[in-house]
Amino acid sequence: MTTTQDLQPQPTETEAPPPPPEEAPVRRSAVSRRGLLGAAGAGMAGLAAGAVGGYALGSQETASSPALSPGTRTYPFYGEHQAGILTPMQDRMHFAAFDVITDSREELVQLLKDWTTAAARMTQGLPAGELGPTSGPYAAPPDDTGEAIGLPPAGLTITFGFGPTLFGTEGKSRFGLAGRQPAALQRLPHFPADKLDPLRSDGDLCVQACADDPQVAIHAVRNLARIAFGRAALRWSQLGFGRTSSTSTSQATPRNLMGFKDGTMNVKAEDTAAVDEHVWVPTDADSKGTWLAGGSYLVVRRINMTIETWDRQPLSEQEQVFGRTKAEGAPLTGGSEFSQPDFDLQDGDQEPLVATDAHVRLVHPSNNGGAKMLRRGYNFVDGSDRLGRMDAGLFFLAYVRDPRTQFIPIQTKLGLGDRLSEYIQHTGSALFAVPPGIAEGEYIGQSLFA
């Protein structure tokens, strides 16, 4: 049975919180970002007087320290699977896709090693690199950009993935990886009604940083981009807020920007059988992709909503579009949010209560061969255009065992007949292979390059 190491309850605040059990995923940082400034109340001015170069490590937090806020929780970076997949969803996200600009396999591997080191540190509340008088030349740029100093770890997770173009383009192998590209790792097709922006699509590498503090998530991607200089360049990125899915039964179902509960039937981490069936790539999935066993595929879709048009629709139309009630999220056939819809139930005019083009009918597992996904989407608002319309929508993230059977057929169906398509437009698209987790001393993607 799959081990889900990040499902233990979060520690509560007490005067002297007991240490978590050995297997618990939520741990207190030995050194917090705030500790980098010395004692919590010392402040920048006091530190400057006693630390060469403006940075110093503070004292470690102990059991006798004051109770710590929930923002100080951390998730292990090392483990059987990468964090940020089953992890209970944090409130904020910074996603970034990179293009590898070096032709050297050795430089690419070294980049992944450098990213691993930095990510392991940042997820535990430490800076990306050492800070202080012994960290390097004072005349050189510091090994951390500094904007997260003084902030707690905020449950940061950093998840890495590899795009199909990392393995080769136009029939040409890159980095000697062509023979290791899984059959399922192909550029997503152009689905019906797509209006994709190539500047918001695809990429050789991806980074998903999730945290409960937006500055912590932004800091993580910023430092990884800095570390990548000369080896990989940022292709595009997206900020997200207000999760639109729940990955744990401990979390309530959130709402998207259309005001509806989103991801009611999402795969939950506690259901290990469903996770094994729908999320993790098995060892015998593909002879070329044995390195991906225990990993997953990440589907990325940037979905703009025509907010102004939607807001003018009557409640009856909005509920018919989704096939659920707006207030409770229950199917229109009755019950509560988690009741199964009865697609055969009809009204007095012999019309189905859940319309044939309703979103919930088209995506329901019963109408898609039992296919499910583990979604980790976020809302986004990127300002407005010159006509005063909001550039807003859903940044769809979903982890699947095989996109060819779990995502592509469903999205094709939605593009052809989903009533929701009148109010949304897909503007970005990507697919990445997310390698399994690693042990300390290894680097992300080592199974691919070994």
Please work out, in degrees rounded to the nearest 5, the angle formed at the alpha carbon of residue 338 by the alpha carbons of 335 and 344: 55
Q: Is there a domain that residue 124 lies in?
A: no
Q: Is there a domain that residue 11 lies in?
A: no
Q: Is there a domain that residue 428 lies in?
A: yes
pLDDT tier, 132 (very low <50, low <70, confident <90, very high otherwise): confident
Task: Give how many domains the chain has, as a whole number.
Answer: 1
Tell me the H-state helices in 123-241.
214-227
Angle formed by the axes of helices 105-122 and 214-227, nearest 10°: 150
Maximum alpha-carbon separation in the chain = 80
Phi-psi domain of 388 (left: phi exceeds 0; alpha: psi -120 through 50; beta: other): left
Q: Is there a domain that residue 70 lies in?
A: no
Residue range 397-424, pLDDT digits in tens: 999 999 999 999 999 999 999 999 999 9
**Is 256's pLDDT higher than 90?**
yes
Q: Is there a domain that residue 373 lies in?
A: yes
pLDDT of residue 285: 87
pLDDT of residue 37: 38
pLDDT of residue 300: 98
Distance CA 69, CA 49 (A): 28
Residue range 67-105, pLDDT digits in tens: 446 688 999 999 999 999 999 999 999 999 999 999 999
pLDDT of residue 69: 63
Domain span at residue 86? 80-104+156-450
Q: Is there a domain that residue 123 lies in?
A: no
Residue 415 burial (C-beta neighbours within 10 Å; 0-12, 13-18, 19+): middle
pLDDT of residue 71: 83
Residue range 184-223, pLDDT digits in tens: 999 999 999 899 999 999 999 999 999 999 999 999 999 9
Phi-psi domain of 387 (left: phi exceeds 0; alpha: psi -120 through 50; beta: other): alpha
Whole-number average pLDDT of the chain: 87
Helix (H, G, I), strand (E, B) or coil at 197: coil
Residue range 14-72, pLDDT digits in tens: 333 344 444 344 443 334 453 443 333 333 333 233 332 322 222 233 333 334 466 88
Q: Which amino acid is at 80?
A: E
Q: Is there a domain that residue 36 lies in?
A: no
Q: Give the residue, 371 or 35, on which the prediction is more confident.
A: 371
Across 250-258, average pLDDT: 96
Helix (H, G, I), strand (E, B) or coil at 239: strand
Residue pair 126/33 in contact by the 8 Å Cβ criterion: yes
pLDDT of residue 134: 73
Q: Which amino acid is at 313?
A: Q
> Is the pTM value of this prediction over 0.75?
yes
Q: Is there a domain that residue 337 lies in?
A: yes
**Is 13's pLDDT higher than 50?**
no
pLDDT of residue 171: 83
